[in-house]
Amino acid sequence: QKEVEQDPGPLSVPEGAIVSLNCTYSNSAFQYFMWYRQYSRKGPELLMYTYSSGNKEDGRFTAQVDKSSKYISLFIRDSQPSDSATYLCAMRSGTASKLTFGTGTRLQVTL
Amino acid sequence: EAGVVQSPRYKIIEKKQPVAFWCNPISGHNTLYWYLQNLGQGPELLIRYENEEAVDDSQLPKDRFSAERLKGVDSTLKIQPAELGDSAVYLCASSRDTGTGELFFGEGSRLTVL
């Protein structure tokens, strides 16, 4: 079993939809949780960063962490075609800097 | 601020040939990472440098892979000899503060081994 599980998709939604992307993990030592966005043939770029449990909002994006369930989510409101990309969750423990990534979910927002 | 620069962007070689990838991190970033990303997978850490020192190379296949970071700035990742299974994207990333985990990635070097 992988430390971080993420549905690879692809996920196709119409423009304006609310998108929910999720990851589960097994390592209870993870404390820092990130979402990266990766466009085709580009490197990943940091989208959201959260520490421990709770919600964090940034524009149309909301990140949620539920440590009791070992479950993290990224919500995208009013999705746009420009949001079409692969979304990678990543996490690390408080004492190490190695990031463990999920496999990524490919999102397609259609007109 | 210039981002992480990698070269070459694309490389096609025959199996058993050597290949090298170069990375220039963001200025002032002391930590440098090499990641491997297979198609449809997330990046996996190969090696992490703190300045010139390789502090985590446990996932680097040392029989054919080597890396160096001379003077604590640029880094080179080498594969010799390359195998078919090495076809992947090799990502370089850098960070200023390892405590936050905020990595900045380059665009990657895509390797195809024939």
pLDDT score, position A2 = 84
- Contact between B101 and A6 using a beta-carbon 8 Å cutoff: no
CB distance from A105 to chain B under 8 Å?
no
Residue B46 CB-half CA count within 13 A: 26
Q: In which residue are the tokens 């960070």 written? A: B95
Q: What average pLDDT does this structure show over B14-19?
A: 97
Contacts of A90 in chain B (CB under 8 A): 42, 101
- Contacts with B54 from chain A: Cβ below 8 Å: none
Residue B27: C-alpha distances to residues A46, A97, B11, B82 (Å) = 18, 19, 26, 31
Looking at residue B1, its pLDDT comes to 67
Q: What's residue A54's pLDDT?
A: 86
At position B21, the amino acid (one-letter code) is F
| Two tokens, residue B94 | 């850098």
Which residue type, as a one-letter code, is found at position A58? D
Q: How far is CA A68 from the centre of its chain?
A: 18
Tell me the pLDDT band of A98, cut-offs 50, 70 and 90.
Answer: confident
- Other beta carbons less than 10 A from residue B8's beta carbon: 12
Q: Any CB–CB contact under 8 A between A6 and chain B?
A: yes
Structure tokens at A71: 């479950």
pLDDT at A1: 77
Q: Quick check: A48 pLDDT over 80?
A: yes
B64 touches chain A (CB under 8 A): no
Read off the tokens for A56: 């964090």
* Averaged pLDDT of chain B: 93
Q: Please judge whether B101 and A34 are an interchain contact, meaning their C-beta atoms are less than 8 angstroms apart.
A: yes
Which of the two residues, B5 and A97, has the higher pLDDT score? B5
Average pLDDT of span A80-88: 97
- Residue B100, pLDDT score: 64
pLDDT on residue B96: 82
- Average pLDDT for A48-55: 87
Cα-Cα end-to-end distance for chain A: 37
pLDDT over threshold 70, residue B58 = yes
> What is the largest distance, in Å, between two alpha-carbon atoms of chain B?
40
The pLDDT value given to residue B98: 56
Specify burial of residue B76 (Cβ count, 10 A radius: 0-12, 13-18, 19+). Answer: middle
Strand partners for A5: A24
Using only C-alpha atoms, what is the Rg of chain A?
Answer: 13
Q: Is the pLDDT of residue B86 over 60?
A: yes
Percent pLDDT > 90 in chain A is: 80
- Least confident range from A29-38, A68-77, B30-39, B98-107: namely B98-107
Lowest model confidence (mean pLDDT) among A44-53, A56-65, B60-69, B77-86: A44-53
Q: What is the pLDDT of residue A78?
A: 98
**Over residues A94-100, mean pLDDT:** 73
Task: Report, as an integer, the average pLDDT of A6-10.
Answer: 88
Q: Does A97 touch chain B (CB under 8 A)?
A: yes
- Please say if the pLDDT value at position A96 is more than 80: no
